[in-house]
Amino acid sequence: MSEDAPSLRPRVVIVGAGFGGLQVARGLADAPVDIILVDKHNYHCFQPLLYQVATAVLSPADVAWPVRHILSRQDNVTMLMAQVTGVDRAAQALITSEGPIPYDFLVLATGATHSYFGHEEWAPFAPGLKDIQDATHLRRRILVAFERAEASDDEAARRRLLTFVIIGGGPTGVEMAGSIAEIARHALAPDFKRVDPRTARILLIEAGPRLLPVLTEPLSAYARRRLEAMGVEVLTGRPVVDIGADHVELAGGEIIPASTKIWAAGVRASPAAQWLGVETDRAGRCLVGPDLSVPDAPEIFVIGDTAAVSDPAGKPVPGIAPAAKQMGDHVAKAIEARLAGSTAPAFRYRHDGDLATIGRNSAVVKLGRLELTGFLGWMFWGFIHVYFLIGTRNRIAVALAWLWNYVTHQRAARLITGEPEVSEAESKKPPLRQAS
Amino acid sequence: MSEDAPSLRPRVVIVGAGFGGLQVARGLADAPVDIILVDKHNYHCFQPLLYQVATAVLSPADVAWPVRHILSRQDNVTMLMAQVTGVDRAAQALITSEGPIPYDFLVLATGATHSYFGHEEWAPFAPGLKDIQDATHLRRRILVAFERAEASDDEAARRRLLTFVIIGGGPTGVEMAGSIAEIARHALAPDFKRVDPRTARILLIEAGPRLLPVLTEPLSAYARRRLEAMGVEVLTGRPVVDIGADHVELAGGEIIPASTKIWAAGVRASPAAQWLGVETDRAGRCLVGPDLSVPDAPEIFVIGDTAAVSDPAGKPVPGIAPAAKQMGDHVAKAIEARLAGSTAPAFRYRHDGDLATIGRNSAVVKLGRLELTGFLGWMFWGFIHVYFLIGTRNRIAVALAWLWNYVTHQRAARLITGEPEVSEAESKKPPLRQAS
């Protein structure tokens, strides 16, 4: 059969090569279908380690792997790099930058992006962390702040430049705060001559009563103690009411001058629901049926962070990689069941646990009744993440980068790349001190 | 002495943290001076390996290292990340984005950029390779071309997308051509389903009579044979007369449809001469005196690719790292001599040799009378480059990446990052074949 001859096999179009989308493609490896996997990038990004790209521990290539290569041995998959703009449900076609793609089954696994709770004007001042571009952008902002502080002669400007505010006390916020504290205290400290990076102020602000609310109270309290021991100021029960180029304002009126703000507080689903014209929950996630298909369209499935799904106890399924993978497995089986003329069972989420790393030698892990903290939790966290990385090369590269960082305290990827973006307040600088 | 107290020591301001600028700073480590090293980036880039970033072998962080870290143990250096816009010779101050910086001695080591010989309109179609940004941009172009070919149903468009034209037969052109041939034939070949990357056409075009003109004729001929064996079409004596979004035109009228063009043909100096208002040669390089200082300004030195210097035999000093380093050494000594009240000797360039790699197991090396080719030349090339990399971590990372590439034929950094840039001709695509 020539490559371009029409196929008689049903076509499954999957949008998104994240944890969920990849799992669907792999689950259909032996099914009599033709799969087209569409993504705007050519790589699968391992989001749980993105914060280490943002804080210069890892390079982008360490946490990303070409989708083509992951699926190169699976003959029934074609990968297409394209931007999706909509779904023509009447014509059963996905609308993309490379033209329409007809489908027999459609799986939308397009993930989530940042949500500023109606304050989209905060986005340029407090970027979030969802993809490789976000990570290198944050890396630039963090490293540039130290550079500008070194160049500044104004004490107030220096303080502002050396203040880092992380908004949101979930795993990403905790991990970013810990990692920025470490880069300031150790990796950068010996290299600056005019400012002392160890004096950097790092604030982690959470609107709710405690950090890491998915974990137990003792684990939350442990995470807080560890962060405070590393020099992070943790503020809980303090909603943010305003963010500008050079400040964060908390409820109650306290204003914190800060050049670098990082948003780790909220996400909303990708626009899959708009493409389909289906109902959503408040976070923009598609309301799906028990088998994860869309109401009135059994051939369309929505999975991962862009689907609103509850576990058997009625609790919302969290937006984490294992949940997306389980949904991907389910949809692959559901499509096979349909092709075999039977109906798909209902999806049942199984929660394995939660974990977050805080810094060198400390992490919190909860797996069923097992709780780990400290060095043991940290080693467990590391092994799990290396294990789930895709590709031998990335596992070796990440393990070596961590070993290097552990032994030397150095960060291997301290590069400021991308276009400079100077905030208005920082662009006017007094001259350096005059030589005598 | 407080950090900000006025210093009584003369201030040396160095612009550019490349091979030349770094060498000046290091050469003055024990001199009674205060050094300010200014660069627009926070890293020193190891340009000889940039082509491996452009062809996805290495990550940017493997060939770059924070300047602050390199100089962290040298107490008399302050590093400033800033954009330089001019020199106020009357006030003896460097003009930068962070304000004016007064100097007692000024060293401009600002390198070179691409020259299109008066055809600057070719720049967007045929980008060159001078810094990390250029390298990731080229990497994007090369990888996107294969992606678009896979998505295209038009045979002429596929051919154009799979045609890569490298203009300029010097070391960079030879290295890029060889590396693109290898990525197409090996790393990408198994991962594409609708096109065969091994059918990619790779052309290396040189206006002069032979490749690598700085080497002997037998070495040039060897390089050509090796490239041809790897599937590269080598055209010599063929000047390029036009470059557009989708083609290259050669003298004589031949038009080659090609989506990806890479410029490796000419460089011109950075605008140091304009900042100083001094005379230049045709490539824009400052004409300097025998001690590398500027006429009528013994306190201003220009070195590296932005200075026009001849060797004792009257031949122009080539724009390579060893030459920049020798000039840096010389200027450090010249400044020390001035401070001691004596005059600096004339600079004498010592040419150690030339080398270029072609591909797996083949390189050409000429060191004095010693000539190496094949596996031996290739090993020598590799050891020399790892040896001259800065930092143990980068040496290990590069050596491991090469080992990985050698054993698996895989490229570790196959990421398409940065903003999409779709050429007009490629942006309208027919739909993918219909499912039956």
Residue pLDDT, tens place only, A60-94: 999 999 999 999 999 999 999 999 999 999 999 99
A147 inside 8 A of chain B by CB: yes
**In a domain? residue A387:** yes
Q: Is A219 in the same domain as A92? A: no
Quick one: A208 and A322 in the same domain? Answer: no
Selecting from A80, A400, A434 the residue whose C-beta is nearest the C-beta of B151 gives: A80
Task: Examine the pLDDT at B390 and tell me if it is beyond 70.
Answer: yes
Which of B81, B132, B415 shows the shortest C-beta gap to A417?
B132
- CA A55 to CA A412: how far, in whole Å? 10
What is the least distance, in Å, from the CA of B357 to any CA of chain A? 24
Residue A167: Cβ within 10 Å count: 25
Residue whose pair of structure tokens reads 């996905």 in the numeric block: A94
A307-316, A383-392, B76-85, range with greatest mean pLDDT: B76-85
The Cα A57–Cα B277 span in angstroms is 44
The tokens of B3 are what?
Answer: 């950090």
Q: What local confidence, expressed as pLDDT, does residue B36 receive?
A: 97
Q: What's chain B's average pLDDT?
A: 92
Which chain B residues are within 8 Å of A54, Cβ to Cβ?
A: none
- Give residue B344's pLDDT: 84
Q: Are residues A384 and A249 in the same domain?
A: yes
Structural element, H or E, at residue A52: helix A50-54
**pLDDT-based confidence at A267, cuts 50/70/90?**
confident
Task: Give residues 70 to 99 of B whose Cβ lies within 8 Å of A.
Answer: 72, 75, 77-83, 97-99
Q: Which residues pair with B39 in a beta bridge?
A: B81
Percent residues over pLDDT 70 in chain A: 94
Report A:346-365 residues touching B (Cβ under 8 A). Answer: none
Task: Choose, out of A153, A415, A428, the residue to mutate when testing the contact with B (most B CBs < 10 Å).
Answer: A415
Whether residues B372 and B292 fall in one domain = no
pLDDT at A420: 52
B432 belongs to a structural domain: no
For residue B215, is it within any domain? Answer: yes
Residue A421 confidence (pLDDT) above 80: no
pLDDT for the residue A419? 63
- CB contact, 8 Å: A131 with chain B? no
Q: State the pLDDT at residue B7.
A: 66
Whether the predicted pLDDT of A230 surpasses 50: yes
Whether A435 and B103 have beta carbons less than 8 Å apart is answered as: yes
A120-164: per-residue pLDDT in tens?
999 999 999 999 999 999 999 999 999 999 999 999 999 999 999
Domain boundary pick from B308, B339, B370: B339
Residues B366 and B254 in one domain: yes
User: What ipTM was predicted for this assembly?
Assistant: 0.87
- Region class of A188: left (phi > 0), else alpha (psi between -120 and 50), else beta: alpha
Q: Are residues B148 and B246 in the same domain?
A: yes
What is the number of domains present in chain A? 2
Residues B153 and B298 occupy one common structural domain: no
Model confidence over A169-209: pLDDT tens digits?
999 999 999 999 999 999 999 999 999 999 999 999 999 99
Task: Answer with the one of B276, B311, B339 that is the final residue of a domain.
Answer: B339
In a domain, B35, yes or no: yes
Q: Which member of B120, B150, B155, B175 is catalytic?
A: B175
pLDDT, tens digit (0-9, with 9 covering 90-100), for B92-106: 999 999 999 999 999
Task: Assign residue A74 a region (left: φ > 0; alpha: ψ between -120 and 50; beta: otherwise).
Answer: beta
Q: Taking 90 as the threshold, does the pLDDT of residue B313 lie above it?
A: no
End-to-end CA distance of chain B: 81
Task: Give the pLDDT confidence score for residue A286 in this predicted structure.
Answer: 96
Residues A135 and A257 in one domain: yes
pLDDT in the model for residue A434:
37
Q: What is the mean pLDDT of chain A?
A: 92
User: Does residue B189 sit in the same domain as residue B249?
Assistant: yes
Provide the token pair at B26.
Answer: 């290091």
pLDDT number for residue A54: 97
Judge residue A406's burial from the number of C-beta atoms within 10 Å of its C-beta, 0-12 exposed, 13-18 middle, 19 or more buried.
Answer: exposed
Residues A219 and A287 in one domain: no
Domain co-membership, A231 together with A138: yes
* Other Cβ atoms closer than 10 A to A32: 11
Could you tell me if A119 lies within 8 Å of chain B, comparing CB atoms?
no
Assess if residue A434 is contained within a domain.
no
pLDDT at B5: 52
CATH number, domain of B301, equals: 3.50.50.60
Interface size A-B, in CB pairs within 8 Å, comes to 186
Residue B179 pLDDT level (bands cut at 50, 70, 90)? very high
A409 touches B: beta carbon within 8 Å: no
Final residue of a domain: which of B309, B339, B369? B339
Residue B395, domain CATH:
3.50.50.100
Q: Are residues B98 and B240 in the same domain?
A: no
B69 located within any domain:
no
Residue A149 lies in a domain: yes
Q: Is B148 within a domain?
A: yes
Q: Is B263 exposed, middle or buried (0-12, 13-18, 19+ CB in 10 A)?
A: buried
Indicate if the pLDDT at residue B251 is higher than 80. yes
User: C-alpha angle with apex B62: A131 to A260, nearest 5 degrees?
Assistant: 45
- Which residues span the domain enclosing B369? 120-265+353-417
Helix (H, G, I), strand (E, B) or coil at B382: helix
Q: What is the pTM of this model?
A: 0.90
Mean pLDDT of A34-62: 96
Backbone phi, psi, residue A215, to 5°: -95, 175
Judge: B61–A133 Cβ closer than 8 Å, yes or no.
no
Please, how many CA atoms are within 13 Å of residue B404, restricted to the half-sphere of its CB?
Answer: 21
B175 belongs to the catalytic site? yes
B393-427 pLDDT tens trace: 889 889 999 998 888 888 888 999 876 544 333 43
pLDDT at B417: 87
